[in-house]
Structure 1
C-alpha cells in the first residue's frame, strides 16, 4: 500500500502581488478560511498559493498583470512547506521584461515549474468554474487536463507539445508545406495526441471509480458519472495504443485537403469533450440547477483529492474560493467534515465568517479588513 504524505504550508509571503505590497501569513491548522467583503484580496491569496504548482495559476492571468499597480512591475511569492517533518522552501516570481516566471526550491533555481509537482499537488475550485458544465468544451478539457496533471506530472508538457505540433501542422497546410514536412509533423501530432487521449481516459476511469466509492460512503453530494466523448474517441474506441496512433495518422493524412480549407485540424483529441451526468437524476449536469451543479463540482474535487493522494502518494492542498455560498448548511458541514477526514490542507474564502461556523477545531479563520489581515479567535 502506498504511504500518503501529508503536505501543508506553514508560511506564505507575498511581495507586490496584486493588492498586497507585503503580506506574511503563518498557518498552524489544516483548514484555513479567509473572510471579508468582496474586493479585499481573498482570492488573491489563493491565486498566490496556486503559483506553487505548475502552470499559470488559477486565474491564468498574464504574469505582468499580477504585479501591484503602484509597484515596480515585479512580484514574488514564497512559502514554507512541511511534509512528514521536513521543510521545503519555495519561491516564485516575475521580473518585468522577462518572458516567464522564475521558480526556486530550497534556494536553487529550477528550469520548470513542473519541478514543484515533486513536492506538492494543488487542486482548486473557483467561481469561474461554476459554469463548467454549460460552457464551451475547451473549458472542460482544461479542467480534465488539470485533474490529469495532478496524478500524471508529465501530462502538462504532453498537452503543450501536442498543441504546438497542431499549430505547426496548421501553418504548414496554410503555407503549402511539402508532403515530407507534413508527414513528419503529423507523426508527432499522432504520437502526442494519442498519449494525451490515453492519459485523459485513464483519469476519467479512475475518477469514475473513486466517485462510486464516495457515493457508497453516503456523502450528501450528488454523484457524477464521467465520459470522454468526441469523434476521435468514437473512431478509436477499443483500439490498442499503437492502433489508435496509426489510425490517427491515417485520419490526418486523409484530411489534409479538408483541414487546409478549414484553416485548422478537424479531427483529434483537441476537440474532445468531458461529459458529466447527474447519476441520481439521470440527466446531464448542464441541465441541473445552479446549486446542484456546484454540489457536483464539490463532489468531483473531493473525489479527485482522494484519487490524487492514492495515485501520487501526496495529499493535495485544496483551494476553494467562495466555496460555501451555494451550499446549504448540511452540505457545508459535510464538506468540512470530509476535508478534515481526508487529512489534507484546504484554504477557503467567503464573505461572512458565519459560513465557516461548522468547521472543526483544527481550523484557522483570517478576517480581511482595512488593508490588513487579522486572525479570529477559535469558535467556541
Structure 2
C-alpha cells in the first residue's frame, strides 16, 4: 500500500499567492497564520490535483490572483502510487471569448483531465463549510457523498456530470411534451437510465463498504461511530437486483412520468435526488439532532473511516486536507486526532490560526507560517 505525499508545492498567481512554494518531508504538514493569510487557499490549490472544482467549488477564473493576467498554476512534486512524479494544473490567460479550459500535466506531459491524477494520488478533505452538512439541503449531502465516491473511483465525477447533462436534455425535450418527438425522448431516456445505473451502483457499493468500515472502527475510535445509508430507491435496489432489471424499471418510470415531469419542469425521480442519512450511533439518533460538537466529531470520524476505505480499495493511502479541523476540539480530542492520523499513515495537511492548538502534534510535523502570500518554515 502506497501513501501519497507531496514533497514540493509551488503556487503561481493562485488566489493571494503571486508566487510561493514550500518543500517538506513531513507526514503532518501544518499551516498556521492569521485569518485571511491564505492557509485555506493553499489547501484549495492542492485539491485541484483531483477531478472537480476543488474544495471550495470555485470557478477556474475565480481562483486567479486579481493582480495577475488571469492565469494560474499549481505544481507539485510527489511520491505517489507510481513513484516520483510531477503533477501540474492551471489555466492560461483568457483570450477573447474562448472558453477557459483547465490544463493538466503529469511529468510535464499533457493529460486529458484531472482524472489521470488518480493513478498517482487520491485525496480526502474536511472544511468548516461541511460543519452544517447534516442540517443542510439534501443536495449538499449528495455532493459530499459523491466526493467520497470520487476518491475511490476517479471516473465518478464524469458520470455524475454526464447524468446531469442527460437530465437537462430530457427536460428541454419535455418543455412541449405534446409535440415532443417520442423517438428522441426514448433515446435520451435510454441514455439517462444507463448513466443513472452507473452512478447509483458506485454510490451503493461505496455506502455499503463505508458503513462496514464505520462499524469496525466504532469500538476503538475516539470519535463517535455512525450508521450510514443512502435514501435512494435505485442505490438500494441495486444491492439485491440485477442492474438490467433496475435500468428497465427506471426507463419505464421516465416514460410514464413525462407529463408530470413536463409540468414540474424537471425530472422528479432518479439518483439526482438521493439523500445521505447518517445516524449518531452512541445515542441512536439522526445526526441532524446531535449537538454541534457531536456533529463535528462525527464528521471527523466519517472522514477517517473513508480514508481507510480509500486505502484498502485503491491501495493508495490518500492525502488528507483538514481545514481548521482542531479549532473547536478540546485538548483530549485534539491529541486523539493526531494519534489516529499517525496510525493512518497518510500525509495530512492541516490549517489553524493558533499554533498552540498543534502543541501535541509531535516534533516530526512540518509547521509553516503563512502570511502576506508567503509560506515559510517555522524556525
TM-score (norm 1): 0.95
C-alpha distance in structure 2 between counterparts of 1:129 and 1:138, whole Å: 13
Displacement of 1:362 in angstroms is 2.1
Change (3 A) 1:234 1:147: closer
> 1:102 aligns to what?
103
Contact 2:7 2:78 in 1 (8 A): yes
Asked if residue 6 in structure 1 is aligned to residue 3 in structure 2, the reply is: yes
- Unmatched tracts of structure 2, length 5 or more: none
Is 1:179 the counterpart of 2:179 in the alignment? no
Q: Counterparts of 2:252 and 2:159 in 1: how far apart (Å)?
A: 21
Q: Deviations over 1:100-119 (max 9, x none)?
A: 21001001011111101111
Contact residue 20 and residue 373 of structure 2 kept, 8 A = no
Contact 1:231 1:267 in 2 (8 A): no
Q: Deviations over 1:212-264 (max 9, x none)?
A: 11113x21111111110135557777432111111101100100000011000
- In structure 2, what is the Cα distance between the partners aligned to 1:99 and 1:342? 38
Structure 2 equivalent of residue 204 of structure 1: 207
Contact 1:64 1:96 in 2 (8 A): no
Corresponding position of 1:56: 53
Q: 2:248 maps to which residue? A: 246
Q: What is the Cα deviation at residue 369 of structure 1?
A: 3.2
Relative distance call for 1:317 and 1:236 in structure 2 (3 A) is: closer
Runs of 5+ unmatched residues, structure 1: none
Secondary structure, in 3 states, of the residue corresponding to 2:252? helix
How do residues 27-176 of structure 1 correspond to structure 2 at under 5 angstroms? 27-83=24-80, 86-97=83-94, 98-175=99-176, 176=179
Tell me by how many angstroms 1:28 deviates.
Answer: 1.2
Partner Cα distance (2:162, 2:337) in 1: 37
- Give, in whole Å, the separation in 2 of the partners of 1:370 and 1:71: 16
CA distance in 2: counterparts of 1:371 and 1:307, whole angstroms: 35
- State the distance in 2 between where 1:235 and 1:197 align: 9
1:267 equivalent in structure 2: 269
Q: State the distance in 2 between where 1:37 and 1:326 align.
A: 16
8 Å CA contact retained: 1:232, 1:267? no
Q: Which whole-Å CA distance do the structure 2 matches of 1:69 and 1:236 have between them?
A: 48
Partners of 2:272 and 2:298 in 1: how far apart?
25
Determine the C-alpha separation between the residues in 1 that align with 2:348 and 2:157. Answer: 23
Q: Match for 2:335 among 306, 309, 333?
A: 333
Would the aligned equivalents of 2:75 and 2:87 in 1 still touch at CA under 8 Å? yes
Separation of aligned partners in 2, 1:118 and 1:310: 15
1:213 aligns with 2:216: yes
What whole-Å deviation, never above 9, does each CA across 1:64-103 have from its counterpart, x for those lacking one? 1111111111111100001379310011111233422100
Provide closer, same or farther for how the CA distance between residues 231 and 341 of structure 1 changes in structure 2, counting only shifts above 3 A: closer
Which of 193, 196, 205 pairs up with 2:196? 193
Contact 1:91 1:105 in 2 (8 A): yes
